[in-house]
Amino acid sequence: MFERDRRTETVAADSERKRARKLTKRGLRVKVYQREREFRTAGGLAVRDITAEVQEAVVESGISDGIACVYSPHTTCCVRVNEFEQGFLEDFATMLRRLVPNDSYYAHDDWDRRTENMCPEDMEAANGHAHCMGMLLGTAGESIPVCDGELSLGTWQRVLFIELDRQRDRRWIVKVVGT
């Protein structure tokens, strides 16, 4: 069912009035904070839960209200928010391998043709499929609201660093802007 925006709500109107938080903090000086972390991934659609480290960075920033941009500076990784549950992560890997099989032909891995961005590491282990997976999954990072000094994550939401390529040294960045 596709619903156009309506101002009047019959179902949730009361709770909405209670829950709607309206806060504008004006006249404050901005704070900008950055933290970077480095680690080695396991490779092969490895997923790492980085929630505690991101939250730690938010606390350290001293920023109570703003936006946290958690970012992967790699072309075959991404940061995504979803549940960390073994079964689901297996389902996710199965889906991704089905939609983007790594045994197809990828021009990116065809060293008889490729003339750009020559990367010796890629010649050892083809990663054309990992680039395609990255594009399919979306952006390099996630932007998450920060409220009262905490990431506004829902009950089951965790911040996940996803490795689409082989085992590699990787890093992620969190940038927080707010007050």
Please list every residue from 49 through 88 that binds a copy of itself, using CB under 8 A. Answer: 49-53, 60-63, 65-67, 69, 71-75, 80-88
Q: Which of 59, 103, 109, 125 binds a copy of itself (CB under 8 A)?
A: 109
Verify binding: residue 102, a copy of itself, rule CB under 8 A: no
Verify binding: residue 121, a copy of itself, rule CB under 8 A: no
Verify binding: residue 169, a copy of itself, rule CB under 8 A: yes
Tokens of 61: 């920033």
Q: Which of 66, 24, 54, 17 is nearest to 173 (CA)?
A: 54
Q: Which of 8, 103, 120, 154 binds a copy of itself (CB under 8 A)?
A: 154
Verify binding: residue 126, a copy of itself, rule CB under 8 A: no
| Cβ within 8 Å of residue 40, ≥6 positions away | 167, 168, 169, 170
Considering only residues 11 to 50 of the shown chain, the ones binding a copy of itself according to CB under 8 A are 11-12, 15-16, 19-40, 42-44, 46-50
| Cβ distance to a copy of itself smaller for residue 7 or 124 | 7
Tokens of 129: 């499929």
Verify binding: residue 165, a copy of itself, rule CB under 8 A: no
Tokens of 152: 């506004």
Verify binding: residue 168, a copy of itself, rule CB under 8 A: no
Amino acid at 171: R
Question: What is the C-alpha R_g of the chain?
Answer: 20
Verify binding: residue 123, a copy of itself, rule CB under 8 A: no
Query: Are 165 and 76 contacting, i.e. CB atoms less than 8 angstroms apart?
Result: yes
**Dihedrals phi, psi of 49, to nearest 5 degrees:** -80, 110
Query: Are 176 and 32 contacting, i.e. CB atoms less than 8 angstroms apart?
Result: yes
Query: How many C-beta neighbours within 10 Å does residue 47 have?
Result: 20
Q: Which of 92, 164, 165, 166 binds a copy of itself (CB under 8 A)?
A: 92
Verify binding: residue 164, a copy of itself, rule CB under 8 A: no
| Cβ distance to a copy of itself smaller for residue 23 or 124 | 23
